[in-house]
Chains A and B, each alone.
Chain A
């Protein structure tokens, strides 16, 4: 669950801070990079599934919370029927013990898992970019103070911090929101460092210096001159943050401090699935597979994007 090393590498060396390549050129490169393109397609599918979850489950005729005691063995809890109870009305079978439809829980779980991952990433970017730009543009004192703050955030085993925080948050606040905020709060350091570095290097550019000389207020300088230059590196970095945050949520839910039942989340389903592995292997394979595939897709995409944007491309494209 730690920040993957990819993100650390990206923060240390975010690639060129030149004005972004023309969009058309980027797309062309992306289409030709098979791995990245595959990743993008998979992500798109997952997002669509998440967005259209209610439609899909309506098609199937099920919902994620109704328990069907008649579909599980009353003595032991395993789903009746072969392959975890797959049938025409339960496309992926049912959960053991509760008899809830697994397909419905999977697609609604996609909403939660992807939603939290994207949400946390958005918050991280917001916090990180704000602090990074402020540090980059501000004077020595501001930079120093914010730098220490960033160090604090980075130099901390935030797994433990996240777990501890989840323990004291009151239950009245919806869990998905809490999770997104907590994950973002403990892991914005990388983005801030990236943004600061980029800001510093952009600051030396002529057009920025010109804007400052012309007396433009700092906020405008930030918005008009710095921000556009940040888009590419930050987006690239954010693409790596999403899987990292997904793993974080899955981990926290797996440990029992994340999403609470009956709300489905892939991590939570995995955590319960591990007890049922032998009698009902589908219950592990389904969320585990979904998680793995989604993560892989993001990693491929992010890696590909980095390759595409890097003119020093010494890496071999697979």
Chain B
């Protein structure tokens, strides 16, 4: 999935010099900032307090139909329960789905083309009305409405005859492929076997929406909550304050502890400010966390000498790859030797440095990031070493007919918020220079960037891209990127290589039928390795999610799915 857009001004503030800033007269509770060791943490006694969430990205969407999450997201998961959710545990266990509204992970039938779910008992919305299967169906249907655009694309393709559905406002008869024979049962009819369906069911589109309270585009002003918290105040782009949902019952929701009584989310802050405030932790900041700002260079530099700060760092990994994307329909990238030459020439050390160093990024030569759940298989067909192999690159260019070098353009974002900006672009430019390739940088602001690169007719020959796992499996990582049937000519395309190889498509379909994760993993890995030979992308690095948390925060354990600590499970007491 695309990274959640961060709206940041690329300003560097003088926070570096003030990291230790802060009056010590803060009334922080003396419980000490011990990192959450599960042994010392007891969810039964964690209730109370107010959690502060400091974020960069403004909260631009709060409508479950429009939010694109992986595993239900962090903040959205506080409001929206889904059929299944991520298992919220560290390590491999966390990469699995677990039942949320449903009683189990769903029963497949008809060769995994039909999936049946039963809802738990005693599920209520924030206003006390019971949650029924119709509400889940309605929630999915409204995500098809064009005015509520956004979210993961899979359902359109997977549900039988749903690709042309225009949403319940225009077609109130709904989607026939979703059946609700009784208020506790929901059945999905898919056009092909999908072993990963329970993983897709963690998406926020699977959150129930009561039709009676649906106000269309205004619904996000106060979406009806099915989760442990509900909206108290919502000021778009700035703040979102949550209070407890009185009708949520912990008995039906063993995965969410919901410790704090209140959660205050402040958005639009500078990344350096966020890190500094959490590190210093004066006043309310002792109860602060962040869900979108990795630790900055200043705090990283202090970790060695500041043991207290070092304890307040959560280190996880969200499967994601930053890479160079070729458009093989544009010269000279139609020649595989040129693509290989560039693969040899890249300097992954400077690229990783541009992203913030080895603490937050790791060099990668494979498209699949190195998480087992995705079926990662190591390969390095064009060994560039640590700093690139310009000699070999030159040799290949000469073979391709460019003995005197090459001039190309690299498209990238105008700011560094998503790590697809000038810092990484200049690192690439510098590395390719050594191989005789002159790179002209072409920055474009974010709105233009997605539009231009996502449309095959305007797609640039070479661009910086990022891709994350919609769920921890090789499927969502490879399908939108390499499946020929996923090419969207009108825009929003992710298959930038515009690859449409029947053999690859057939293999994808075959793997999708497998319900045993271990088997599927192995096949996805093999497919990635095979695709890697074509040099359709140049993987640069995978991400490491290193986040700070406040002095009073407990149980900030990164889960195996999203690599972050879970707001629904941390406590401030």
- Name A residues whose Cβ lies closer than 8 Å to a Cβ of B: 65-67, 69-70, 72-78, 96-99, 171, 254-256, 260-262, 271-279
Contacts and interface: CB of A to CB of B under 8 A. Distances in A.
Interface in B356-395: 356-359, 386-387
A274 B349 contact: no
* A interface: dominant SS: loop
B353 A69 contact: yes
Contacts of B415: 256
Nearest to A171: B443
B357 A65 contact: no
B12 interface: yes
Which 6 A-B pairs rank lowest in CB-CB distance, beginning with the nearest?
A69-B349, A277-B16, A277-B17, A279-B301, A262-B426, A275-B12
A275 B297 contact: yes
Contacts, number: 113
A96 B297 CA distance: 10
Contact of A65 (B16, B296, B356, B426): B426
A73 to B, nearest CB: 7
Contacts of B298: 275-276, 278-279
A260 B300 CA distance: 26
A101 B242 CA distance: 49
A275 B296 contact: yes
Contacts of A271: 11-12
B464 to A, nearest CB: 14
A136 B269 CA distance: 51
Kindly name the residue among A75, A97, A274 whose own CB sees the greatest number of chain B CB atoms within 10 A: A75
Given A99-B350, A275-B297, A262 B429 contact: yes
Given A75-B300, A78-B301, A171-B443, A278 B19 contact: yes
A254 B387 CA distance: 30
Given A69-B350, A256-B9, A74 B357 contact: yes
Contacts of A272: 12
Contacts of A277: 14, 16-17
A78 B352 CA distance: 13
Kindly name the residue among A74, A260, A275 whose own CB sees the greatest number of chain B CB atoms within 10 A: A275
A96 B353 CA distance: 9
Interface string B454-489: 000000000000000000000000000000000000
Contacts of A99: 350, 353
Contact of A97 (B14, B17, B353): B353
A256 B11 contact: yes
Contact of A74 (B10, B14, B352, B429): B352
A234 B353 CA distance: 48
Contact of A76 (B9, B13, B357): B357
Contacts of A279: 16, 297-298, 301
Given A65-B430, A278-B16, 20 more contacts: A65-B433, A69-B386, A72-B353, A74-B357, A76-B300, A76-B301, A76-B357, A76-B359, A77-B357, A99-B353, A171-B442, A256-B10, A256-B11, A261-B422, A261-B426, A262-B422, A275-B13, A275-B272, A275-B297, A278-B302
Nearest to B296: A275
B357 A274 contact: no
B16 A97 contact: no
7 contacts: A70-B387, A97-B353, A98-B426, A254-B11, A274-B14, A275-B13, A279-B297
B429 to A, nearest CB: 7
Interface string B280-322: 0000000000000000111011100000000000000000000
A99 B347 CA distance: 13
B277 interface: no
Nearest to A167: B445
Contacts of B347: 67, 69
B309 to A, nearest CB: 13
Contacts of B224: none
Contacts of B300: 75-77
Contacts of B359: 75-76
Interface string B412-445: 0001000000110011011101000000011110
B357 A97 contact: yes
Contacts of B296: 275
Contact of B297 (A67, A74, A77): A77
A254 B11 CA distance: 7
B572 interface: no
A261 B430 CA distance: 12
A279 B302 CA distance: 9
A92 B49 CA distance: 50
A273 to B, nearest CB: 8
A171 B359 CA distance: 33
A87 to B, nearest CB: 19
Contacts of A76: 297, 300-301, 357, 359
Contacts of B301: 76, 78, 278-279
A202 B17 CA distance: 55
Nearest to B17: A277
B354 interface: yes
B527 interface: no
B16 A98 contact: no
A318 to B, nearest CB: 32
B16 A260 contact: no
B177 interface: no
A274 B10 CA distance: 13
A317 B557 CA distance: 67
B17 A261 contact: no
A272 B350 CA distance: 17
A63 B350 CA distance: 16
B16 A276 contact: yes
B15 interface: yes
B429 A77 contact: no
A74 B12 contact: no
B358 A275 contact: no
A220 to B, nearest CB: 48
Contacts of B353: 67, 69, 72, 74, 77, 97-99
A273 B353 CA distance: 16
B447 to A, nearest CB: 13
Nearest to B15: A275
Given A97-B353, A276-B297, A74 B423 contact: no
